[in-house]
């Protein structure tokens, strides 16, 4: 991954209530020293900032997609570990749609009001199967 580090075009700080700026970082530190110490901040071009903002938004969207993928993976792993004997969950996918079907050991499809993401639907199917299996064993 490349680093899109923007060029610092100047350094700014407040000095006795006035905004100061210079292109020389050393000079900025020297001028901002006591008796009026302040934080020296970098100034970048608006275009660089906008590019960084766009990169940040793209990365946030990518992270959100990965979180959803990870949640689905966790629920699939949970199903593989905890789905009662004979129960089956299928994931159906077609263009622009996806859903879950759950089947009991007799092969009957279980009616559930599916809501949420695929991960949440898988979770609902697992929980329903476990509840029904526990109910049948009593």
pLDDT tens over the chain, length 138 residues = 556 688 888 988 887 788 889 898 888 887 776 666 578 888 888 888 888 899 999 999 999 999 988 999 999 999 999 999 999 999 888 998 888 999 999 999 988 887 888 899 999 999 999 999 898 877
Report if residue 55 sits inside a domain: no
Q: Are residues 78 and 39 in the same domain?
A: no
**Domains contained in the chain, number:** 2
Report if residue 102 sits inside a domain: yes
Question: Taking the chain, what is the end-to-end CA distance rounded to the nearest angstrom?
Answer: 56
Task: Report the b/e string of 25-63 with b at 16+ CB within 10 A.
Answer: eeebeebbeeeeebebeeeeeeeeeeeeeeeeeeeeeee
Report if residue 93 sits inside a domain: yes
pTM, two decimal places: 0.57
Report if residue 50 sits inside a domain: no
Report if residue 97 sits inside a domain: yes
Q: Are residues 79 and 131 in the same domain?
A: yes
Q: Are residues 29 and 82 in the same domain?
A: no
Report if residue 56 sits inside a domain: no
Report if residue 37 sits inside a domain: yes
Report if residue 94 sits inside a domain: yes
Question: 105: domain range?
Answer: 74-136
Q: Are residues 128 and 84 in the same domain?
A: yes
User: Cβ–Cβ contacts within 10 Å for residue 114, how many?
Assistant: 15
Q: Are residues 32 and 85 in the same domain?
A: no
Query: How many separate helices (H) and strands (E) can be counted in the chain?
Result: 3, 6
């Amino acid at each position: 991954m490349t680093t899109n580090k923007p060029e610092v075009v100047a350094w700014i700080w407040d000095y006795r209530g006035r905004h100061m700026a210079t292109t020389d970082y050393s000079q900025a530190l020297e001028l901002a020293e006591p008796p009026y110490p302040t934080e020296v901040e970098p100034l970048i071009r608006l275009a660089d900032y906008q590019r960084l903002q766009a990169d940040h938004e793209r990365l946030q969207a990518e992270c959100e997609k990965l979180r959803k993928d990870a949640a689905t993976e966790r629920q699939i792993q949970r199903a593989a570990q905890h789905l009662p004997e004979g129960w089956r969950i299928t994931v159906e996918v077609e263009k622009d749609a996806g859903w879950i079907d759950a089947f009991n050991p007799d092969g009957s499809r279980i009616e559930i009001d599916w809501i949420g993401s695929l991960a949440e639907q898988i979770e609902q199917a697992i929980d329903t199967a476990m509840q029904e299996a526990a109910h049948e064993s009593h």
